[in-house]
Structure 1
Amino acid sequence: MSNYHYYPGIADNEFIRGDIPMTKQEIRIQVLAKARIAKGDTIIDIGAGTGSLSIEAALQSQTGAVFAIERETEGIELIKANAQRFGTPAVSAILGSAPEAMAALPQADVILIGGSGGKLSAILAEADRLLKVGGRLVITAITVETLHGALQELKKRNYPSEACGIQVSRIRSVGASHMFQALNPIYIISATKEEG
């Protein structure tokens, strides 16, 4: 996309998509706000899906690196295709599951967790090892159990955290009328790593 000017919240239809779940625009905007990505930041995106968040993180970081971990081969191909489409060569697609796929990664300023595959505790332990002091951790959850588990794990690790639930409804045309269509509600948990 030559002459592309970036603004947070790229439209969903601008991404190359397949059958892999994608974080929707309105949720991406909130996650990016919580992540507070600065120029040069290193970001790890766990459960990257189509790479929509990875791409936006790379565009915000500009000179930093983004490591997009995804366990589905189709997802890896979509991440690579979208990285090329948006001119973000700093996005490295990593095929594998966390926490194992995190083992060789460098220290990070921001870690995004969009999918845990039931291994949230182990992923957070590895995230704690990789996250720099002052680094931000943002978790998106679609189940109450993941929300509860994330809050409990962060409390055990003494991470100050906050959480919110977001319900987005989009308007769509139905003949000559319009109606709202609800997207799945999402919980966003954000935390910062402090000294000690």
Structure 2
Amino acid sequence: MWKFKTPGIPDEYFERTDDVPITKEEVRTIQISKARLCPGNIVYDIGCGSGSITIEAALQIESRGKVYAIDIDPKAVELTRKNLDKFGVSNVEITLADAKQKISSLPLADAIFIGGTGGDTKDIVNLCYDKLKPGARIVVGIILIETLYSVMETMNKLNFGSVDMTQITISKSKKTSTGTMMLARNPVMVISATKN
């Protein structure tokens, strides 16, 4: 369905529901680039929501890589499954679980994406540290300032290297009866880092 190698699948290509979040196209593109994925990588998508990051990552790592997608919300898991089917992506294992209980059983990762975690982001970053291979990348999407602070503090304590924080503020065009206007989306902070 998506015949391009570049990330940035338009949001409207994904199956969506109002009660399951999606990482928006432009933010997703930046997060995928921060992970520095390669074919054959092992990737986690924690808090997979609609599965947009899962699908983009799965396409980047190709069939010899694998994505482990986890969400605690049954509606998110079902929506991710629908999107996997829609895009014909098969190198994904999706699990309905609390990530804090599931992470320890996963293989070592080359990249980990952390999205919606219901307030457990700091704890999940801590758990993920031991599951990252040396030189592996972690990418955390954040909308709350309190979460941003706790994740930065945790990354500093864990001695992550190449820590980068990027604030993404996007406006999208919308046609009106008299022309085109720009509508702002909520800012998202993306923290990325490398395990030393």
* Band of TM-score, shorter chain: over 0.9
Q: Which residue of 2 is the match for residue 186 of structure 1?
A: 188
Deviations 1:29-87 (A, max 9, x none): 10011001000000000110000000000000002000111111111111111111112
RMSD: 1.2
Q: Which residue of 2 is the match for residue 137 of structure 1?
A: 138
Q: Per the alignment, in what secondary structure is the counterpart of residue 7 of structure 2?
A: coil
Instruction: Give the letter aligned to residue 42 of structure 2.
Output: T
- Any gaps of 5 or more consecutive residues in structure 2? none
Deviations 1:110-167 (A, max 9, x none): 0000122222232112101111000000001001111111110000001021101110
Which aligned pairs between 1:58-77 and structure 2 lie closer than 5 A? 58-62=58-62, 63-77=64-78
- Any gaps of 5 or more consecutive residues in structure 1? none
Which aligned pairs between 1:13-24 and structure 2 lie closer than 5 A? 13-18=12-17, 19-24=19-24
Which aligned pairs between 1:17-96 and structure 2 lie closer than 5 A? 17-18=16-17, 19-62=19-62, 63-96=64-97
Residue 13 (structure 1) shift: 0.4
**1: distance between equivalents of 2:130 and 2:149?**
22
Q: Which residue of 1 is the match for residue 122 of structure 2?
A: 121
Instruction: Give the letter aligned to residue 51 of structure 1.
Output: G
Q: Per the alignment, in what secondary structure is the counterpart of residue 99 of structure 2?
A: coil
Instruction: Give the letter aligned to residue 82 of structure 2.
Output: A
Larger mean Cα displacement after TM superposition, 111-120 or 158-167: 111-120
Runs of 4+ that moved beyond 3 A: 3-6
Q: Which residue of 1 is the match for residue 9 of structure 2?
A: 10
Instruction: Give the letter aligned to residue 7 of structure 1.
Output: T
Whether the 8 Å contact between 2:122 and 2:147 is mirrored in structure 1 is no
Aligned pair count reads 193
Provide the TM-score with structure 1 as the length reference: 0.95
Larger mean Cα displacement after TM superposition, 94-103 or 158-167: 94-103
Instruction: Give the letter aligned to residue 6 of structure 2.
Output: Y
Q: Per the alignment, in what secondary structure is the counterpart of residue 65 of structure 2?
A: coil
Whether the 8 Å contact between 2:171 and 2:183 is mirrored in structure 1 is yes
Residue 106 (structure 1) shift: 0.7
